[in-house]
């Protein structure tokens, strides 16, 4: 361990330094930009070893340690890395984003400033039917005329709302009140700072196929930036968290039955994982259906 008087320097990643201030576009008018970062893969290793020194182990050992920490859910070393982003996003995406409370956030204030005339207009293929399996998601395609009617209504309503907003401001209505006429499709902007552990939690939920498509697009950009700052940690996160599978007790019983030669349906039955309703119809959701989906993921794994 180095002494307390050993020289210290701010660790940096040249590739990440070149990303600072670069706006990565998302949706119609949105973007994600890295503002600053503190630490990199070495900071995770340093914290785990409670050492001021760098390079006390080989690169291979450092990689192995990071992967061990991620696999065994040792979270505090990952909190030693912080990333600060500037994000422009539609209000309806922001309302989902702020449910993640383990971050520092400062938002553009429509009480102090005039809201720009920018609203989100989803592309035609993003306007779909309500899913019959996911109560909060999208499903099959809609007829083109329905899609265009919705997009036309959204465009018209948004423009009319902004015209009303400007009329209110011109008439002297306070900004904090005039903003009430603006729909969720309008954009806001904020600085969002979080540590790597909590960014992993955000990404584990928002990269998931069940997350709304628009916030997934933002998550993809955040992940891309984090991959530059901490490539080894992101590699471990993507392998053990994003691509990993967790098995509950009954699912483990079903796997044991599979190993003993049972069919998937018989394995589910022996483990108490229902696949049919009381009326005999196949279930479309539930633990048994999710277990079969995990088996499909295993079959498709590289």
Q: pLDDT per residue over 156-214, tens digit each?
A: 999 999 999 999 999 999 999 999 999 999 999 999 999 999 999 999 999 998 899 99
Query: Which pLDDT belongs to residue 56?
Result: 52
Query: Which pLDDT belongs to residue 6?
Result: 58
With CA atoms as reference, report the closest residue to 105 among 193, 215, 229: 193
| 14-112+186-242 CATH | 3.30.1360.170
Query: Which pLDDT belongs to residue 134?
Result: 74
Dihedral of CA 273/279/281/283: which sign?
Answer: negative
Helix (DSSP H) and strand (DSSP E) numbers for the chain: 12, 7
**Residue 35, SS3?**
strand
Give me the helices (H) in 173-280, please: 175-178, 196-206, 213-229, 231-237, 249-259, 264-271
Task: Extract the tokens encoding 102.
Answer: 């383990």
Task: Extract the tokens encoding 119.
Answer: 């609203």
Q: 21: how many CB neighbours lie within 10 A of its CB?
A: 10
Locate tokens 């600060």: which residue? Answer: 84
Main-chain dihedrals φ then ψ at residue 286, nearest 5 degrees: 115, 170
Whole-angstrom Cα distance, residue 88 to residue 187? 7
Residues 6+ apart with CB under 8 A from 154: 119, 121, 122, 185
pTM of the model: 0.90
Query: Which pLDDT belongs to residue 5?
Result: 61
Check if 166 is active-site.
Answer: no
Residues 6+ apart with CB under 8 A from 36: 20, 83, 84
How is the chain split into domains, by residue range? 14-112+186-242, 124-181, 249-300
Q: Give yes or no for a contact between 37 and 81, defined as CB atoms under 8 angstroms apart.
A: yes
Beta bridge partners of 10: none
Locate tokens 């309806």: which residue? Answer: 92
Whole-angstrom Cα distance, residue 110 to residue 118? 14
Whole-angstrom Cα distance, residue 77 to residue 99? 24
Residues of the chain with pLDDT under 50: 1, 51-52, 55
Query: Which pLDDT belongs to residue 248?
Result: 95
**Residue 198, SS3?**
helix
Whole-angstrom Cα distance, residue 107 to residue 84? 13
Query: Which pLDDT belongs to residue 104?
Result: 96
Task: Extract the tokens encoding 69.
Answer: 């920490």
Query: Which pLDDT belongs to residue 4?
Result: 54
Query: Which pLDDT belongs to residue 57?
Result: 61
Whole-angstrom Cα distance, residue 265 to residue 290? 13
Q: Which residue among 63, 88, 179, 206 is the active-site one? A: 206
């Amino acid at each position: 361990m180095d002494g307390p008087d050993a020289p210290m320097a701010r660790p940096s990643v040249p590739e990440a330094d070149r990303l600072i201030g670069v706006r990565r576009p998302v949706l119609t008018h949105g973007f994600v930009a890295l503002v600053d970062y503190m630490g990199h893969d070495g900071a995770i290793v340093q914290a785990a070893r409670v050492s001021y020194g760098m390079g006390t182990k080989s690169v291979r050992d450092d990689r192995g340690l990071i992967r061990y920490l991620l696999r065994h859910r040792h979270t505090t070393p990952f909190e030693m890395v912080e990333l600060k982003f500037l994000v422009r996003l539609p209000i309806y995406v922001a309302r989902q984003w702020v449910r993640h409370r383990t971050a520092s956030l400062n938002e553009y204030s429509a009480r102090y400033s005039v809201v720009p005339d920018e609203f989100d207009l989803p592309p035609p293929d993003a306007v779909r039917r309500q899913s019959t399996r996911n109560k909060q998601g999208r499903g099959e395609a809609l007829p083109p005329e329905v899609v265009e009617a919705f997009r036309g209504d959204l465009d018209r309503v948004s423009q009319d709302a902004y015209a009303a907003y400007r009329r209110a401001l011109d008439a002297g209505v306070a900004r904090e009140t005039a903003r009430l006429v603006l729909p969720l499709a309008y954009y806001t902007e904020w600085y969002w700072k979080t540590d790597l552990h909590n960014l992993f939690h955000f990404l584990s939920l928002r990269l998931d196929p069940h997350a709304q498509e628009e916030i997934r697009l933002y998550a993809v950009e955040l992940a891309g930036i984090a991959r530059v700052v901490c490539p080894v940690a992101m590699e471990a996160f993507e392998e053990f968290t994003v691509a990993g599978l967790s098995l509950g007790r009954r699912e483990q019983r079903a796997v044991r039955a599979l190993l003993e030669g049972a069919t998937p349906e018989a394995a589910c039955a022996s483990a108490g994982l229902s696949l049919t309703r009381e009326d005999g119809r196949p279930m479309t959701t539930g633990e048994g259906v999710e277990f079969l989906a995990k088996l499909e993921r295993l079959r498709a794994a590289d």
